[in-house]
């Protein structure tokens, strides 16, 4: 997690140029999603769920929000650069593999790139 800290940190400039959603369950913060729409393509900038709350429904709710928000903004595809440990979740939600990209946090590491049709 420390290696990914910069990539997961929300900064004011990114918040102003994207859409952001926080997930709560019973008043407790569970996760966050951030999406940037550029024409007919949206990028899932962040989707993070507190590890102790995995499989609580928070990730699905955040991804559903991201897909709906992107679609309403005119996007046709949601691009997801996924941690390898989360890629199975995105596939179960309907995303398909679309190659690999360099990790934004760990030099020399490649992560799955997936797309979700909206």
Q: What is the DSSP string of 79-106?
A: EEE--TTTHHHHHHTT-EEEEEEE-SSS
3-class DSSP state of 115: strand
- The residue segments making up the domain with residue 25 are 2-117
Instruction: Give pLDDT tens digits for 7-31.
Output: 566 666 666 667 889 888 888 888 9
Q: What is the DSSP string of 7-56?
A: HH---HHHHHTSEEEEEEETTEEEEEEEEEEETTEEEEEEEEE-GGGTTS
For position 81, which CATH number holds?
3.40.630.30
Structural domain total, the chain? 1
| Residue 1 pLDDT level (bands cut at 50, 70, 90) | very low
pTM for the predicted model, two decimal places: 0.84
Count the alpha carbons within 13 Å of 105 in the hemisphere toward its beta carbon.
15
């Amino acid at each position: 997690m420390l290696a990914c800290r910069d990539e997961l940190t929300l900064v004011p400039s990114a918040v102003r140029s994207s859409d952001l959603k926080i997930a709560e369950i019973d008043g407790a913060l569970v996760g966050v999603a951030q999406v940037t729409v550029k024409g007919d393509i949206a990028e899932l900038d962040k989707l993070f769920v507190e590890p102790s709350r995995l499989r609580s429904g928070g990730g699905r709710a955040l991804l559903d929000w991201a897909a709906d928000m992107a679609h309403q903004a005119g996007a046709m595809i949601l691009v997801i650069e996924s941690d390898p440990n989360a890629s199975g979740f995105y596939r179960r939600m309907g995303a398909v593999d679309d190659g690999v990209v360099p990790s934004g946090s760990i030099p020399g590491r490649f992560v799955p790139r997936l797309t979700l049709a909206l």
